[in-house]
Structures are given as C-alpha cells and as structure tokens.
Structure 1
Amino acid sequence: MNIQIRPAQPTDAEKAVPLIMDAIGEIANWLTGATEDEMVAERLRELFMRTDNRHSYLNTYIAEMSDHMVGIIVLYPGEDSSMLDCNLTNWLIGKGVPTPEIDAESLPGELYIDTVGIAPNFRGKGIGTQLFTFAEDLAKQQGYTKLSLNVETQKDSAIRLYKRLGYEIVSPWTIIGEPFHHMVKLIQ
C-alpha cells in the first residue's frame, strides 16, 4: 500500500476534521464548547485552520493514498502544550464558553501524539503503524528522545497495540476527569 505522509494545509480542514472527531470522540465537545455534531465540526474546522492550538494544521500530518486522505496524525512538542492550551482557553472564552479547564496531556521533552485517525474504509491496513513510524522519524529529526501518548485505561486493544509499537505505561493520567495511561516510547 503506497501511502504518502505530508504536512497538512488549512484547506485540508473539511476532510481532516471528521477523522479527528472520530478519533477523539466526546473530547471534541469539550475542546470546542459545543455539543451538536455540526457545531463541533464547524469549530474544529476553525481551530484546524488557526496556527495557535493543538489541532492546528501546523501540528497535523496527512496520510494519503492516490490523492485520498486515509489518515491523520496530530503531534506537537510537550513544552508547547501549555501555550497551545492557553490559546485554546482564550478562544473558548471568546466563543462565550464558561472558562474551561484544559488538562495538560504531555510533558516537556516529549513529542506528544495527540490524535491518530484512520478513515473507516482503510482501518486494519497498517496506515496507523505507518503514521507512528513517521512520528518516530520526526521525533528523531527534531532531537526528541521520547514520544508520548495517552490512552483510556479501558482500551485494552489500543494498549496492546501501543505496547507492540514499543510504548510503555509510565504513569496514570487524568483527562476530563477520566482515567488514562500516559505511555512513552524512548527514541534512539
């Protein structure tokens, strides 16, 4: 399967946002301050096209096959997460959302994998693994020795996959009051 991975562009918002929404589920409501799917999608498209938040196109890479978007990965330096989340909080306040508490998801010194989404018709074909390999290569290029992610504690199959890819559970984590595992892969 010939997959190309490239940096996202603002014009990718329309196709990338459904993959993000599918990957993060209800967290999308929390990140946008919206509850109805169309408003969540509209606000995520707006965030995607901005340059100052975790789901910006600047932090997103697109997996394509024959010019069709088949997957996305959103990742950013852990040391940038506070600034990105502060910008998100200010944006939400500007939307009239009561001041939300944005939970930190990463630590300095880590390249943090925030979101991985694969188009439904392309799941199980190794695209996710290719995106994780891309993230590892990017981490090396940028001088990181750690890649990290968070996974819900009850998602046993995802935890097994991440362990198979070399990630280890290093600490408990809480996001939106829910328990997660913080997993890290050391990069050599």
Structure 2
Amino acid sequence: MTTPEHPAQHTDIRLATAADVPAVRAVTDAAYHHYIERIGRVPSPMEADHEADVAAGFVYVTGDPVVGLLVLVPRPYEGRLLLESIAVHPDAAGQGVGRRLLTFADDHARALGLIEIRLYTNALMWENQKIYPRYGYEFVERRVDGPYDRIHYRKRLQDR
C-alpha cells in the first residue's frame, strides 16, 4: 500500500511487525557485533528494546529474509526525525541496502512534514563518519552521552 509515510519508490521497505522482532535483533547484532571490541562495550543498538520499538511503529525493515532496518523516531515538536539506528546484515553489505534505507529516512521525514534528520554514531565507528557526510549529513557536535562518546549529525531537508 502506498501512503504518504510509505512512498511507492520504497515498496521494498516496510513497517516491522511483532513477527520481525527476532530478525531485527539478529540483523542488529550481526551489524554491530564487530564494534564491541573496538569501543569496549556493547553498542547501544544491540541493547535496544526491539520489541518496544517495533510495537511503537519505529522500525522499518527490508528484505525477505530481513537484511536491513531503520529505527526512526519522529520528534514533531522539534521538527525532526531521529534516525536512532540503521543496520545492514554483513552478508548484504555493498548491495545498496544502506543507501536505500537512508533515502527512505529522508522521504519518511518529508512525508511527516519534518525539516531535519538527526543521528549519532560512536566516535570509534570511524567508517560511519565517512559515510554520513556523503549522504548530506553535517557534523553538529561530539558529546559524551553516558558511557558513549558520540558524534552527532544532522541533515536539513528541502523539498525536491
């Protein structure tokens, strides 16, 4: 079904259901596990309450079986969408899954009438610091949030 929240060009990306929770957990764990040793702790997406995020309507998945996902938290009172997590299973790396998910996030934010997307990444996940600027994200700040040293980014959206 095509709705403003689910534009036709993203028919391969859908809202996750309760049945997807094990796959959401598995893809997230596979995507983030290799960072544990580097950052010295479990990355926060691996500790997320996936069941609650799915129930709240924040999780979008792609693939059958699921190979990628986004956790998108609308913050309309701030005029922005928080891209809380993006994960692509390592077996699907290099196939454009991440690019499609990031494009979906842009279109989803626009459909909700939001003007900005915010995200953050661990300062030791340096690969991400190379990726996000290529997709229009700009550095906002580096900030310690609890036990995590994070780089915060934003992308200001304009109508296409």
Q: 1:70: which partner in 2?
A: 67
TM-score, scaled to structure 1: 0.66
AA partner of residue 48 (structure 1): H
TM-score, scaled to structure 2: 0.77
Q: 2:5: which partner in 1?
A: none
8 Å Cα contact 1:3/1:127 also seen in 2: no
Instruction: State the Cα distance separating 1:23 from its structure 2 match.
Output: 4.1
Q: 2:94: which partner in 1?
A: 124
Matched, 1:56 2:72: no
Q: 2:104: which partner in 1?
A: 134
8 Å Cα contact 2:31/2:90 also seen in 1: no
Q: 2:43: which partner in 1?
A: 27
Instruction: State the Cα distance separating 1:182 from its structure 2 match.
Output: 0.8
Q: Match of 1:166, SS?
A: coil
Q: 1:39: which partner in 2?
A: none
Q: Could you tell me how far apart the structure 1 residues matched to 2:113 and 2:86 are?
A: 22
Q: 2:124: which partner in 1?
A: 154
Give the 3 Å change call, closer, same or farther, for CA 182–20 of structure 1 in structure 2: same
For residues 111-146 of structure 1, what are the alpha-carbon distances to aligned partners after superposition, in whole Å with 9 as ceiling and x for unaligned?
A: 011111111210111100100000000000001110
AA partner of residue 14 (structure 2): R
Q: Could you tell me how far apart the structure 1 residues matched to 2:50 and 2:134 are?
A: 31
Matched, 1:13 2:17: no
- Further displaced range: 7-16 or 17-26: 17-26
AA partner of residue 23 (structure 2): K
1:164-183 equivalent positions in 2, closer than 5 A: 164-183=134-153
Give the 3 Å change call, closer, same or farther, for CA 126–3 of structure 1 in structure 2: farther
Instruction: State the Cα distance separating 1:164 from its structure 2 match.
Output: 0.4
For residues 35-55 of structure 1, what are the alpha-carbon distances to aligned partners after superposition, in whole Å with 9 as ceiling and x for unaligned?
A: xxxxxxxxx6xx4333xxxx3
Q: Could you tell me how far apart the structure 2 residues matched to 1:153 and 1:110 are?
A: 22
Percentage of matched positions with identical amino acids:
25
- List gaps (5 residues or longer) in structure 2: 1-9, 34-41
8 Å Cα contact 1:21/1:28 also seen in 2: no
Equivalenced residues, count: 140
- List gaps (5 residues or longer) in structure 1: 32-43, 81-107
Q: 1:187: which partner in 2?
A: 157
Q: Could you tell me how far apart the structure 2 residues matched to 1:29 and 1:116 are?
A: 9
Give the 3 Å change call, closer, same or farther, for CA 114–3 of structure 1 in structure 2: same
